[in-house]
Amino acid sequence: MPDPLSRFPRFQLAHLPTPLTEMVRLRAALTERMEPPPPRLFIKRDDCTGLAGGGNKTRKLEFLIGDALAKGCDTVVTTGALQSNHARQTAAAAATAGLRCVLVLFDSVPYEGHAYRGSGNLLLDRILGADIRIEPADADAGAVFARVMAEIEAGGSRPYLVPVGGSNAVGSLGYVGAYLEIADGLDALRIGAARIVHASSSGGTQAGLVTGRQLRGRGPSVTGVNVYRSDTDAMAASIHALACKTAALLGISAPAADAVTLDGRYLGERYGIPTAEMRMAVELVARQEGVLLDPVYTGKGMAGFIAQVLAGDHADVEALVFLHTGGMPGLFAYDGEF
């Protein structure tokens, strides 16, 4: 089919396609602990998108930066927690495109590790030249953005606001493309029924994948592991709403609400606070596969993936694909956990 994304402004940032590789040793380790054996296990390496440490935001930012440039903007503004991977990737994307970048980072995660407020993504944000504004957890976000946008405009610049996680319909287009890439990769391996499992947070990744499936009409189903909010049902509803907006942007029919499957069992106490299962998953995958996950997203996502596999939740498919969405710099901010 002709590329359904070709009519949207796009600024090339990612090294694509990212590798799709089989996790033979992880599967062997899990097979020892269960009967019957699990489906084949794959990993889609979106940590290898290539932009300043890689990760899922690179694909979204291709469309968001494309849109910013098409609108004549010269300054990108975005937001997240202090250790936001999205903020780091946005700073890198802006640098690549020759745009200024302002990061409004909320000190919202009650984590007291000694490196949390200086290392990891925050260190990289500084190196990438971002203008960093740190706000307290209880700051009025709307008022803060209004102030920052007005200040940029008063200086004669044109700001472009990227929402948290790059999760709007434009950003989600990046994961429509990723879905098509994964589905084609599985077809090339002659794999039939399959499922993609990934860490879900601001929702643009899952909304894009679900919309990609709607566009293609067939292919792997999608299960998100909630690493973000305690109200999983409300979060699934907002991901579905975003998928509907993404479908409307593409001019296709909306996916059904039940296309969004979100597992809320692996968040732990709250976003950004480590769990024992996360630590075990990060170490297991590092030691079996030589792949580094992260403490906030993919570590909890993989904890969910492993627990689901061991519980036999995916016995109905031939293959599972864990989508590695990046985040490795976060390990340095949580160094005391390992």
Q: How far is the CB of 86 from ligand PLP (least distance, A)?
A: 5
Torsion angle of the four alpha carbons 156, 158, 163, 166, in this order, in degrees rounded to the nearest 10: -130
Minimum CB–partner distance for residue 225 and ligand PLP (Å): 9
CB nearer to ligand PLP: pick between 39 and 120: 120
Nearer to ligand PLP, 199 or 222 (CB): 199
Q: Which helix (H) or strand (E) holds 51?
A: none
Residues 102 and 95 sit within 8 Å (Cβ to Cβ): no
Closest to ligand PLP by CB, 152 vs 229, is 229
Closer to ligand PLP by CB, 152 or 168: give it: 168
Q: Cβ closer to ligand PLP: 74 or 335?
A: 335
C-alpha torsion 123→128→134→139, nearest 10: -130
In the complex, minimum distance from the CB of residue 46 to ligand PLP, in angstroms, rounded to a whole number: 9
Nearest to 309 by CA among 43, 46, 37: 37
How near is the Cβ of 305 to ligand PLP at its closest, in Å? Answer: 13
Q: Of residues 6, 84, 167, 172, which has the active-site annotation?
A: 84
- Determine the Cα–Cα distance for residues 292 and 103; give it in Å rounded to an integer: 26
The pair of structure tokens assigned to 277 is: 């299962």
Q: Which is nearer to ligand PLP, 42 or 175 (CB)?
A: 175
Strands 40-45 and 20-22, by their bridges, are antiparallel
Specify whether 108 is catalytic.
no
Q: Please, what is the Cα angle at 187 between 168 and 249, to 5 degrees?
A: 20
In whole angstroms, how close is the CB of 34 to ligand PLP at the nearest point?
Answer: 26
Query: Cβ of residue 164: shortest distance to ligand PLP, in angstroms?
Result: 8
Residues that bind ligand PLP (CB under 6 A): 55-56, 85-86, 165, 167, 199-206, 294, 297-298, 325-327
Catalytic residues: 84
